[in-house]
């Protein structure tokens, strides 16, 4: 790989680690405040990436690096925060709020990065625009992707907010079947580009309007 590609890969990797750390810390913090200290006891109510990497070394380090090295086209990976399933079963609405906290962090990061770009602050430091641009696009992608209502994505766990407790309980028992996760990943892989591409185009046009 040439030096330019190495810089691109390192930029994407750092942005990915930062973004997924805040995503999972959002889940962990929300769970703690809502009565489940499981992730807190695992050290994941933290902006330190190490507790998150220690939990998912393949998803946060190995697969992202291998994917970029092999494809030289972006990064894929995953992370997770532990929670008490008995707590989630007892309080489905609280579990739904916990699920929403992760994508909310990505939306916040995308907005902050967009403001830095929009008002020119990202140009004040040489090379910062590359990082801030990657931060905007990656967090927009993570926000939209995780809102897909497909298990095990966060969007599927947010839906109980709009259900009665009885229906939320039935719903959770169904979506936690392993077959649903496998089917969902296949659906998401094939459908997501059709959902995300127009959203990204609209977001970039809005961000750059008049600039």
Q: What is the pLDDT of residues 121-174, one digit of tens each?
A: 777 788 889 999 999 999 999 999 999 988 888 998 898 888 877 787 777 777
The pLDDT of 114-124, averaged and rounded, is 86
- List own/partner pairs for 69-75 with CB under 8 A and 24 or more apart: 69/1, 69/9, 72/1, 72/5, 72/9, 74/12, 75/9, 75/12, 75/13, 75/16
Torsional sign, CA 156, 157, 160, 166: positive
96 vs 125: CA distance, rounded Å: 39
Q: Which domain holds residue 113?
A: 3-208
Q: Any idea which residues carry the catalytic annotation? A: 24
Q: What is the pLDDT of residues 73-114, one digit of tens each?
A: 899 999 999 999 999 888 888 999 999 999 999 999 999 999
pTM of the model: 0.92
Please give the tally of structural domains in the chain: 1
CA distances from 208 to 118, 119, 137 (A): 7, 10, 13
Chain-centroid distance, C-alpha 88:
20
Q: Break the chain down into helix, strand, coil percent, rounded to 5.
A: 75, 0, 25
160 vs 171: CA distance, rounded Å: 8
């Amino acid at each position: 790989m040439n030096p330019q590609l190495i810089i691109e890969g390192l930029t994407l990797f750092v942005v990915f680690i930062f973004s997924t750390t805040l995503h999972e810390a959002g889940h962990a913090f929300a769970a703690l405040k809502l009565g489940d200290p499981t992730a807190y006891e695992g050290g994941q109510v933290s902006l330190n990436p190490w507790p998150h990497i220690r939990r998912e070394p393949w998803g946060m380090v190995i697969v992202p690096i291998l994917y970029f090295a092999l494809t030289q086209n972006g990064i894929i990976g995953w992370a997770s925060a532990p929670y008490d399933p008995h707590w989630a079963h007892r309080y489905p609405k609280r579990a739904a709020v916990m699920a929403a906290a992760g994508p909310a962090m990505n939306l916040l990061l995308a907005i902050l990065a967009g403001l830095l770009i929009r008002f020119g602050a990202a140009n004040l430091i040489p090379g910062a625009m590359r990082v801030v641009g990657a931060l905007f696009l990656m967090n927009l992608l993570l926000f939209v992707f995780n809102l897909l209502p497909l298990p095990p994505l966060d969007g599927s766990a947010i839906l109980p907010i709009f259900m009665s407790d009885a229906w939320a309980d039935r719903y959770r028992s169904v979506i936690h079947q392993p077959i649903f996760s496998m089917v969902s990943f296949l659906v998401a892989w094939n459908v997501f580009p059709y959902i995300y591409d127009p959203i990204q185009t609209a977001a970039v046009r809005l961000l750059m309007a008049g600039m």
